[in-house]
Structure 1
Amino acid sequence: MNVAADAPCPCGRLDARGRPLLHAACCGPWLAGAPAPDAEALMRSRYCAFVLQDAPYLLATWHASTRPPAVDFEPGLKWLGLDVRSHRQTDDDRAVVAFVARSRLGGRAHRLQEWSRFVREDGRWFYVDGDVA
């Protein structure tokens, strides 16, 4: 699955006027290999990777200390939206992002609410782990 460069980004980020950012101006560069500028941008791009079922990107942006050997996707799961509640850099190379991701599976709605921890190494941000609320 791909997102057209001129389509709204799946992460739902809005521009200053409240319009959806296009994928090419939002998460597209990070998914193509450019380093995300901050933990929130990485978290949003990882949400897009789940929407797109891009396991290589998810694994590449997962910190080696907690990275699983593989990423499995739930058959039939449809991601419906992302709401970033807060983004806080705790020091130069650590950050926390709180978010809610909505999905639907088998006709039932689900919400994933998490406080995710990120670390920056050699200029790149990585997802470490998170606490599900």
Structure 2
Amino acid sequence: MTLQDTSSCPCGTGLSTPQCCGRYHQGEPAPTPEALMRSRYTAFALTLHDYLLATWHISTRPAALSPDPETQWKGLSIIKSGPDATKASSQAEGGFVHFRAYFKERERWHMLEENSRFVHESGRWWYVDGTPAVVRLKPRRNDPCFCGSGRKLKLCCNE
């Protein structure tokens, strides 16, 4: 998939990639922590490692990200997002996103669940860090697909 692709954005909004996360990948600042999280998920799905590093806060940013060709990102579900009420008014504005991301790796399904923290500085939202948990899933063929298509797994992403 490319940014010019008119199919649905990997983040699950139903918009095309250029209308959704692609504009943030091209430099437009994400307006909320959730928009940044969705664009980062899409960057993982499209292997846009430069974007991931560019949106990671300098205080926690790794020097590099290694591509993992074995991982196929299949679906994103936002559980909750919003401002961070623990930030003092004298500090930079903060936010959070609690999400679940579904992926397939070496023919096995997994779910990454994370509570991510974001900070708004210099007119942009930045990913700071998260508390991740990865769980191996054992879906059945007739379960709904994790991508959100509404189709059965056996007829969709499990092919």
Residues 1-133 of structure 1 mapped to structure 2, 5 A cutoff:
2-13=2-13, 20-90=14-84, 93-133=93-133
Q: Which has the higher contact order (CA 8 A, sep 6+)?
A: 1
- Contact 2:43/2:52 (8 A) holds in 1: yes
* 77-86 vs 90-99, greater mean Cα deviation: 90-99
CA distance in 1, matches of 2:4, 2:104: 23
Runs of 4+ residues deviating >4 angstroms:
none
Superposed CA offset, 1:45-75 (max 9, x none)? 0001101111110000000000000011222
Shift of the alpha carbon at 1:4?
Answer: 3.0
State the TM-score, normalized to the length of structure 1.
0.90
Shift of the alpha carbon at 1:21?
Answer: 1.2
Aligned Cα RMSD in Å? 1.3
Bigger-Rg structure (1/2): 2
Alignment: residue pair count: 127
Query: How many percent of aligned residue pairs carry the same amino acid?
Result: 47
Listed as ranges, the gaps of 5+ residues in structure 2 are 86-91, 134-159
Listed as ranges, the gaps of 5+ residues in structure 1 are 14-19
CA distance in 2, matches of 1:46, 1:128: 12
